[in-house]
Amino acid sequence: MNFRGAMKTRRGMTVVALAAGLVLTTAGCGGGGDGGDDAKKPRPTGEEDGGKNGGSPEDVDSGKVLAEVKGGEDITLTVNSARRESGGFVTVTGKVTNGGGKVWVAPGWEGSESELALRNKLSVAGAKLVDKKGKKRYLVLRDTEGHCLCTSFGQPIQAGKSKTWYAQFPAPPDDNNEVEFQIADMPPAGVQISGGE
């Protein structure tokens, strides 16, 4: 075999080895209990009145209120649950009510992403959980494409209407269940995280 033939064979084997490595790497990145499968699920729209999806991965228990705060433009934010999940995250659910006389577009509630494709308009992507004891602030989790694991309202909230919402955060240490939910210019809402599964 001459030198040129040996080089062609070697290049061909390198391409095959790289392709096999990419296939194995891609297969290993599939959902494996670390929330990857959740990223494939359709994100809820937060429609409470006649919407197809609820504001959380499960129905919001609107009868239970952990915290309620009122902000500018006559907006009421209610937190109905804060649940520690297996996998190291916390799911917070609630309701936002527009008590004002005009349409509300959730100013400042979206995340601070500057890349257009990753902006989460009309969402709760800018929310934080603050762990004062541990002196840490937890931001809303993102899926593999950079979108928030939270409610996107889809449309502005009409006057007098409510929409449910959810947001998922990294969990604080197991020995601390007292946190504050903060978003935009709303007052902090102190919540108690319920136990894990």
Q: Is 23 helix (H, G, I), strand (E, B) or coil?
A: helix
pLDDT value, residue 117? 47
The letter for the amino acid at 49 is D
**For the chain, give me the number of helices (H) and strands (E)?**
2, 8
155's tokens: 């449309």
Q: Taking the model in full, what pTM does it have?
A: 0.68
pLDDT value, residue 116? 45
Distance CA 167, CA 96 (A): 13
pLDDT value, residue 110? 81
Are 128 and 138 in contact, with CB atoms under 8 Å apart? yes
Are 80 and 60 in contact, with CB atoms under 8 Å apart? yes
Over residues 125-157, the pLDDT tens digits come to: 899 999 999 999 999 998 888 788 998 888 999
Half-sphere exposure of 195 (CA within 13 A, CB side): 1
pLDDT value, residue 4? 55
Beta bridge partners of 150: 167
| Residues of the chain where predicted confidence (pLDDT) is lower than 70 | 1-62, 111-120, 196-197
Are 91 and 78 in contact, with CB atoms under 8 Å apart? no
